[in-house]
Amino acid sequence: MSEEIALPANIMSQQRMNEVKSAPQGTEEALGRDAFLRLFTAQLKNQDPLSPMENEAFVSQLAQFSTLESQKAMQESIESMSRSMMREQLLTGTNVLGKTVPSITGSIIGGEGRVSKASAALPAGADKVIFNVTTADGELVYRKEFGAQPASDMKFEWAGDSTDGEPLPIAVYYISVASEKNGESRSATVTTQEMIKAVRWDEDASDVVLETESGREISLAQLNRIEM
């Protein structure tokens, strides 16, 4: 009868290797196991039999592999969560397509009978109000004067035609309002409504960006008012 020889604890036999491979492993235990075993076997084949590597060294290497695999798994989980949030925010952004948002740039898409709305802040009222519409090149195409106005947010509508009543082509136009009070002229803050035509994801800002008809971009997080 052959006598079984006990091997030192820091030497892994083929039998022990097979036992490790066939042993049931949880998800966390399996992290980095294949790579570690390959390196582990290579180290055993090439180490000095008279001065084998200490157990602590092998345990340390296994811990390093497990840590790297855990970090990789965590990173993949975070990236998956980020992609999911991006899709949800994009879907939220599509709900505002076709709706209008306020703009203080004065820009509108008008012409060909399209009615554009605007308002101007007159905190102190005015003796006279002048409503102007210009092209993107600064050419004045429409002008209308109004008499005395009380302190209010004055409402305006423009039907997309010139001062002479001629229809203008669809394009980007700019509305400006000037008021006169006690002989002093000043520009009023104009608010227009722009329609949202597109939604996209901004990688740098990690946020949904809305694009209006006039080409203006607005972060979804900046919106505080949306209209039909």
pLDDT of residue 61 exceeding 90, the answer is no
- Residue 101 pLDDT: 81
Across 180-191, average pLDDT: 92
pLDDT for 203: 76
Contact 174, 214 (CB under 8 A): no
The token pair that represents 147 in the structure block = 């008499």
Q: Residue 215 has what DSSP assignment?
A: S
Distance CA 173, CA 65 (A): 63
What is the H or E stretch that residue 155 is in?
strand 152-158
Separation of alpha carbons 209 and 199, rounded Å: 6
Q: How far is CA 181 from the centre of its chain?
A: 45
Q: Model pTM?
A: 0.56
For residue 87, give the H/E element and its range: helix 55-94
* pLDDT for position 44: 66
Mean pLDDT of 17-41: 56
What is the average per-residue pLDDT within 17-31? 49
Q: What is the pLDDT of residue 193?
A: 86
CATH 2.60.40.4070 fits 105-194, yes or no: yes
Report the distance separating Cα 117 and Cα 128, nearest Å: 20
Q: Which residues pair with 194 in a beta bridge?
A: 101
